Structure 1
Amino acid sequence: MKYIRDLLYFGYHQSLSCVFPVVIFATLALSKIVIIPGLYRYDFILLVCIFMQYMMYKTGLETKDEVKVICVFHLIGLLLEIFKVHFGSWAYPEEAWTKIFGVPLYSGFMYASVASYICQAWRRFDLRMNNWPKAKWTIPLGIMIYLNFFTHHFIYDFRWFLTILLFLVFVKTFVQFSVRETTYKMPLALSFFLIGFFIWVAENIATFFGAWQYPNQRDSWTLVHISKISSWFLLVVISILIIANLKLLKGNMNNHQSIEKPGDLLTTD
């Protein structure tokens, strides 16, 4: 019975952590069916995303610090989208007033929704990182992973080398999370993969509803190639590295948002 209660608690708070992504998916589905005269679909999605971001902050679902982190991810995601669309990796074929270099501004919110989930899950489940690597390893690794999304169009794709390096850097790192009175633990690299896998599932839903379009989906929708899991896996790594290092840099964390290092416990609000 205890494990059932823990599972229900876990599912409920996971659902709350996923509010932003769920709203985006619901809007994608609704905008596919409902047409608003004089308002392009991509522009409508952007308005909903902005409104939802505002409401999440006003209702306390997100803190001011979390909104700042989410804005950083919006910018990072938008820059990556502009670059990828330019190189034909995928496309946004519909018209919109709020498109920059062929990319609708709402696309940045899809990356921001990943950050929103991580921030909220971190807070709700009192995440703690045991044996977190030093910044001299994590920061360069995060930069190299992000740059590889750009440079693999010109030079060799180092994603598998970076994945191996990632496992070496985080081989001793475990994430602890609390579900009611019980604390669970798993390897951090495994959590990277699990989040990446579920984002890939969500990506299939998003492309089905026309959020964006891969070249092989121009004529009809097809399943997103399974290799994309590795891309999302690495994107999740970047997301958690940024959030974790921001928490470390702030230096005034509270007990509900912390990273634990050997002999060193830092807290922030």
Structure 2
Amino acid sequence: MQRATSLERRVDALAHRVLRDAPANGIRAGLIEFAVFILKQAWACVFGAALLVVIVAARLWYPDDAPLARNDAMTIAAVLIQVAMLAFRLESGRELWVIVLFHITGTAMELFKTDVGSWAYAADGVLRIGGVPLFSGFMYAAVGSYMVRVYRLFDLGFTRYPRRWMTAILAAAIYLNFFTHHWWWDARWVLLAGVVLLWLPTVMHARVWRRTIRLPLLLVFAGVALFIYLAENIGTWAGAWAYPDQAGGWQPVSPSKLTSWFLLMIISVVLVAWVYPPQVPAAVLRSEPVDDRRRVRP
């Protein structure tokens, strides 16, 4: 397993010993591969899942009259989760830089969006900047954590990945539009078209165990955006934040937020691509007369 942490290498070795005599073909083999896929996805989501558990637990059991404000308690819990991710070798120091950068860009967006009334947090606690509790940045960091972890857990490879400088320009435009659309034309549909044009030819190669699955990358993007949208519904139900139409009582988040999460996820994809440059799978290189310089798209 490439780029795995020391703990993940030990888990991977144990899993291979358990599965060593498993069949390579047939229904049972397919079920094993599916189980491994689900377990790897769950392992990649451990940061976000732990944070979501904290948010729900704070809603259900945290006392209203506690001396420590609920938002501050969630911030402290988020910090402890991040420390545990590093202490137990679930993330590397190299990956932490990407997660911190996504944390910062997310917090900057939160400060602006709450100021213009896009959504709001409970005004309690001292661990906050303006009306934004510090735990909010960890929600963005959780997305970044998933992206870097899923990349190495599935040993991802890509064919026909776009030039990274082009994706960086598009990601910068997406981030800028999250701010400018409040007083200028909303370019999200143009940006979505740009995403489709750039990534439509791209195929993702993900190694599950014995099998490598191949999926259109745009389909993967859409699936991740849907998953984040579902998590957002849980977060707003738990009262971590609220949109204006939820002020009178909780209701499902507007499906229009799917496009926002889809575009925001592109930013995290681009950030991760600068840490783990997209590679053409070795099997593809062996089967085609391709110059090795195509392994990394600049």
TM-score (norm 2): 0.83
Which residue is 2:13 aligned to? Answer: none
| Displacement of 1:266 | 4.4
Partner of residue 7 from structure 1, selected from 10, 21, 34: 34
- The total of aligned residue pairs comes to 258
Question: Is 1:191 matched up with 2:226?
Answer: no
Does 2:132 align with 1:103? yes
Partner of 2:142: 113
Larger deviation, residues 126-135 vs 110-119: 126-135
Within the candidate set 189, 198, 205, 1:176 is matched to 205
Q: Which runs of 5+ in 2 are unaligned?
A: 1-27, 282-289
Query: Which aligned pairs between 1:137-148 and structure 2 lie closer than 5 A?
Result: 137-148=166-177
1:144-163 Cα shifts (integer Å, max 9, x gaps): 01111001001111111111
Instruction: Write the letter of the residue equivalent to 1:158.
Output: A
Contact 2:158–2:205 (8 Å) recurs in 1: yes
Identical positions, percent: 36
Indicate the structure (1 or 2) with the bigger Cα radius of gyration: 2
How many angstroms apart in 2 are the aligned matches of 1:214 and 1:90? 4
Letter of the structure 2 residue corresponding to residue 260 of structure 1: V
Alignment of 1:18-33 (within 5 A): 18-32=45-59, 33=61
Q: Find out whether 1:66 has 2:88 as its counterpart.
A: no
Say if 2:69 and 2:125, in contact at 8 Å, map to a contact too: yes
Counterpart selection for 2:154 from 98, 121, 125: 125
Aligned partner letter, 2:49: V
Q: Gapped runs of 5+ residues in structure 1?
A: 249-257
Quote the residue 1:92 is aligned against: 121
Preserved contact between residue 260 and residue 266 of structure 1 (Cα < 8 Å): yes
Q: 1:160: which partner in 2?
A: 189
Question: Per-residue CA shift, 1:31-53, capped at 9, x if unaligned?
Answer: 12222721011111111111111
SS of residue matched to 2:279:
strand
Q: CA 1:37–1:136 in structure 2 vs 1: closer, same or farther (change >3 Å)?
A: closer
Q: Among residues 44, 51, 58, which one is paired with 2:80 in the alignment? A: 51
> What secondary structure does 1:185 align onto?
strand
| Preserved contact between residue 69 and residue 115 of structure 1 (Cα < 8 Å) | yes
Does 2:286 correspond to 1:265?
no
Counterparts of 1:34 and 1:165, CA distance in 2: 44
The answer as to whether partners of 1:92 and 1:213 remain within 8 angstroms in 2 is yes
User: What amino acid is the match of 2:145?
Assistant: S
Partner of 2:62: 34
Letter in 2 for 1:119: V
Q: Distance in 2 between matches of 1:265 and 1:203?
A: 36
**Contact 1:244 1:259 (8 Å CA) reproduced:** no
1:174 CA drift (Å): 1.1
Between the aligned partners of 1:191 and 1:109, the Cα distance in structure 2 is 23
TM-aligned CA deviation for residue 136 of structure 1: 3.1
Contact 1:90 1:215 in 2 (8 A): yes
Root-mean-square deviation over aligned CA pairs: 1.5
TM-score (norm 1): 0.92
What is the alpha-carbon distance in structure 1 between the residues aligned to residue 260 and residue 226 of structure 2?
Answer: 10
Give 1:219's aligned residue: 248
Query: 1:86, 1:260 → 2: CA distance?
Result: 43
Helix, strand or coil: the match of 1:9?
Answer: helix
